Amino acid sequence: MSRQTLTAILPQKAEAVLLTSPHNLRYFTGFSGGEGVALLCEDGGYLFVDSRYTTQALEETTDVTVIEIHAKNREEILQKHLSPLKSIGYEEGQLTVGAFDGFLKFAPKSDWIKLSQDLEELRMVKTEEELNCLRRAEAIGAEAFLAVLPQIKIGVTENEIAAEIEYQMRKRGSSGTSFETIVVSGYKSSMPHGKPDYKKIENGDFVTMDFGCVYQGYCSDMTRTVAVGSITKEQETIYQTVKEAQVQGLSTIRAGVLGKEADFAARKVIEDAGYGAYFGHSLGHGVGLLIHELPNLSPRSETVLKPNMVVTCEPGIYIPKLGGVRIEDMVCVTEDGIENLTQVPKDLLIL
């Protein structure tokens, strides 16, 4: 798969980059096994894996030399390749202190340079191949949601709905969930990241479902809130306010806009309606190999949006003891607007 390269980092910021996180290993080497160490230089590099992954690494990578390591030779091999380097970039956001100290002993005289932010920024703008994976991932989630809708009714538990969503995504080609599926109903829908349990859906409940899948390593993310039975006028007002806020946020997202400008456009709708105190999180976040990555659409985000960045737009209102609503689409930024990857209606559904 085509991807951004490390030319913006090597050798300007470091002589080599040490990678251990599954997402950066996959992005910069093609290796999807998840466990390994890559040492990448301007003219190539090395991927160190144990015998469980040697064959897979050889099949998936082309620009690195695969070296098999085991308990007896690991320290010797890493010492040999790390100690000559004058400077080494590393993922400070991904390594524990203990793991970093373990690598540091192999090159104690080298300059160790923090590069987590730089690496994540390289992944912000997606290639067409990445976009196709993200499109399919989001389509799988949308298909699963539509398949589950008829099963959402009074007496069904949150756990049952969550399990069915995950089954339907797997059935359509997902390799797993991109995060723990959220299904919350009634008063629990006021918890943005509440967990599904054996609570049964009751008449008058909002049911908020936030879920995503993984397709060829790339994540999807969408949220829909539906109502069951009869609802109050206030509930309808809350839903329509969130929907209007999302529409405003979506209409603001385009190349050249700051992340905070998109957040402000949606947040203002909710504040003007008198619900500002009940929208506590940011409008959205980037999505790719990770479910949460750059850029952010937050009140403080100074990131300038660029074409082919993929972000979520997910305003919400959450009122304790009453319930809440969130509506979330995943979109690709274009020069003059967005390509909405979430092809699911967002009109209020009362089941």
Asked if residue 314 belongs to a domain, the reply is yes
Average pLDDT of every residue of the chain: 96
What digits encode the pLDDT tens for the residues 15-70? 999 999 999 999 999 999 999 999 999 888 999 999 999 999 999 998 899 999 99
What digits encode the pLDDT tens for the residues 266-318? 999 999 999 999 999 999 999 999 999 999 999 999 999 999 999 999 999 99
Asked if residue 159 and residue 113 are part of one domain, the reply reads: no
The residue among 95, 122, 149 that closes a domain is 122
148 has a pLDDT exceeding 80:
yes
The residue among 122, 148, 176 that closes a domain is 122
What's the pLDDT at 121? 95
Range of the domain at 227: 128-340
Dihedral sign (CA 81, 85, 91, 94)? positive
User: Which residues make Cβ contacts (< 8 Å) with residue 282, sequence separation at least 6?
Assistant: 263, 296, 297, 298, 299, 301
Cα Rg for the chain, rounded, in angstroms? 23
User: Which residues make Cβ contacts (< 8 Å) with residue 35, sequence separation at least 6?
Assistant: 22, 49, 50, 52, 53
What digits encode the pLDDT tens for the residues 190-227? 999 999 999 999 999 999 999 999 999 999 999 999 99
The residue among 70, 104, 122 that closes a domain is 122
Distance CA 158, CA 198 (A): 6
4 has a pLDDT exceeding 80:
no
Asked if residue 174 and residue 97 are part of one domain, the reply reads: no
What is the value of pTM for the model shown?
0.95
What H or E segment, with its residue span, contains residue 134? helix 128-148
Asked if residue 240 belongs to a domain, the reply is yes
Asked if residue 312 belongs to a domain, the reply is yes
The residue behind tokens 């349990």 is 197
Q: Are 18 and 37 in contact (CB under 8 A)?
A: yes
State how many domains the chain has.
2
Q: Which CATH number fits the domain that encloses residue 98?
A: 3.40.350.10
What's the pLDDT at 38? 97
Asked if residue 84 belongs to a domain, the reply is yes
